[in-house]
Amino acid sequence: MGGMMNLSWEALPLELRTTFRIAHGASDRRDNVLVCLDEGLGEAAAVAYHGETQAGIMAYLSGVGDIWGDDPYLLEDVLTRLPAGSAAARAGIDIALHDAWGKRLGQPLYRLLGLNPARIPLTSFTIAMAEPEVMAEQAREAGLPIYKIKVGGAQDVAAVAAIRAVTAARLRVDANAGWSREQAAALIPRLADYGLELVEQPLPVGDIEGLRWLKAQGFGLPIFADESIKTAWDVAAHAGAVDGVVIKLMKTGGIREALRAIHTAHALGIQVMLSCMIESSVGVTAAAHLAPLCEFVDLDGPLLVRNDPFVGLRYDGARLLLPDAPGIGVLAAIQ
């Protein structure tokens, strides 16, 4: 190919449509990083519960150096040369590299991966923690078929009951590591009465034995691990302890490791939910190209953002429509 690839980056501040409140904090904005590798676009979103910050991401990017070689198609070689450190920064580089790969070959990423975008499951829409009546009103107004309800506070049962009273949609709950073992064991059977699909990260990060114990109680509600899962190694460590895992590019360090984690999960009989942090259309569209491989999808990031500077995947209700432009298929929005 000739010539060294040029890595650059800039701040990507995202303003949220409404305050986003979960078990471990609330926010009105996110400070992400846009990563460019020649013509390739990527995004790095700091995962706060893994100790990541925008400044840390930028520091990592400034220290990468000239690792690209002269053949950008050797993705595995290039990514293996990345230094250890920020998973989000590595995800930004990985996404940009895949985007450049697709653009140079003139094909959308899903096609290069041999995947069928018609197989993408419907996405859930997140309802952040608030007063139960406020959460119910959000669900009623949205009128969508799947909701992920943030729990881990004092009104969890009341919130789920209020939402169920106004919608027949499929409901999932996400405790974001907000319950103890005793709380989870008490709450899950009560919440199951409202016809839930699954419960996500009920216990603190790293409590694999607690998850194993909770699963053995036989409450009949599938348990998924999220915050505990970064790489394929973490998926393997949870074998037998959970029914599913949540894969996010910002935790895996990009598309390459996400694919390994997805295939590892399926080899172990574990289902996969593909999800995102609060990201612009760059990061979420990149993830969506892997969605045909997954049983569940939670890719609503752009719907939560007021000032997304890009256009990529589109939403037809809860259906995700992938762009068919080369690479990840993201374009700058017309302001």
Tokens of 260: 């390994």
What is the spatial distance between Cα 42 and Cα 91, in angstroms, rounded to a whole number? Answer: 8
What is the spatial distance between Cα 233 and Cα 265, in angstroms, rounded to a whole number? Answer: 10
Using left for φ > 0, alpha for ψ between -120 and 50, and beta otherwise, residue 187 falls in: alpha
Could you say which DSSP state residue 123 is in?
B
Contact (CB, 8 A) for 236 and 245: no
What is the spatial distance between Cα 299 and Cα 126, in angstroms, rounded to a whole number? Answer: 9
* DSSP helix/strand/coil, 271: strand
Q: Which residues contact 282 (CB under 8 A, 6 or more apart)?
A: 34, 41, 42, 43, 95, 310, 312, 328, 330
Catalytic amino acids? 150, 174, 200, 226, 248
**CA nearest to 76, candidates 97, 55, 60, 62:** 97
- In Å, how far from its chain's centre is CA 61? 21
What is the spatial distance between Cα 329 and Cα 220, in angstroms, rounded to a whole number? Answer: 40
What is the spatial distance between Cα 89 and Cα 44, in angstroms, rounded to a whole number? Answer: 5
* DSSP helix/strand/coil, 298: strand
